[in-house]
């Protein structure tokens, strides 16, 4: 690497540190119950196609605990609940946060990791960019989706 490239690299690294500096909000700021006011899934193959579930009667509450465990309880309306199944779905796992990324590692009922970009402003937590799936055209086939959530701490 020549000196000019090395200096450009160092300058870029310093600039990104200065602009994106800071640290994640404290565990205490995250800890609590976050109730979703927006729960949107966007089709990755066709970003103009999306579904917002809170408006369809879904409710979701994410409890982030100070011990870095979480519980997500999602309640589906009867119209979205498969016959013979409960409309209440509970997922548990662990969580961590960096400066701008919240990671949820689901341990039950599935084993999956979700990563979101986040912005915390007062009692509002906005999560964007989480990987998910949704059957956008009701053909029984799950499609890749991006999950975006806005939640308010209660």
**Domain-located, residue 86:** yes
CA 5 to centroid of chain Cα atoms = 37
For residue 129, being part of any structural domain is answered with: yes
Lowest mean pLDDT among 19-23, 41-45, 144-148: 19-23
Element (H, E) at 65: none
Do the domain assignments include residue 35?
yes
4 is a domain residue: no
Does pTM top 0.75 for this prediction? yes
In a domain, residue 138? The reply is: yes
Q: Is the pLDDT at 19 greater than 60, yes or no?
A: no
CATH of the domain at 90: 2.40.128.20
What tens digit of pLDDT does each residue of 23-80 get? 778 999 999 999 999 999 999 999 999 999 999 999 999 999 999 999 999 999 999 8
Whole-number Å distance between alpha carbons of 154 and 152 = 6
Is residue 14 situated within a structural domain?
Answer: no
Tokens 């986040």 sit at which residue?
A: 118
Give CA angle at 48 (114, 34), nearest 5°: 35
How many domains is the chain built from? 1
**Structural domain range at position 95:** 26-153
50, part of any domain: yes
Domain presence at residue 15: no
Using alpha carbons, select from 153, 100, 150 the residue that is nearest to residue 126: 150
């Amino acid at each position: 690497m020549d000196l000019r490239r090395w200096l450009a690299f160092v300058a870029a690294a310093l600039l990104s540190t200065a602009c994106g500096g800071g640290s994640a909000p404290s565990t205490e700021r995250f800890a609590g119950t976050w109730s979703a006011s927006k729960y949107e899934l966007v089709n990755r193959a066709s970003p103009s196609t999306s579904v917002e579930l809170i408006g369809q009667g879904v409710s979701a509450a994410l409890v982030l605990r100070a011990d870095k465990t979480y519980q997500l309880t999602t309640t589906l309306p009867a119209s979205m609940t498969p016959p013979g199944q409960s409309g209440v779905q509970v997922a548990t796992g662990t969580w961590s946060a960096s400066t701008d990324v919240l990671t949820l590692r689901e341990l039950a009922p599935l084993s999956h990791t979700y990563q979101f970009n986040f912005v915390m402003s007062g009692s509002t937590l906005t999560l964007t960019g989480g990987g998910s799936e949704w059957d956008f055209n009701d053909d029984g086939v799950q499609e890749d989706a991006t999950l975006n959530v806005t939640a308010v701490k209660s």
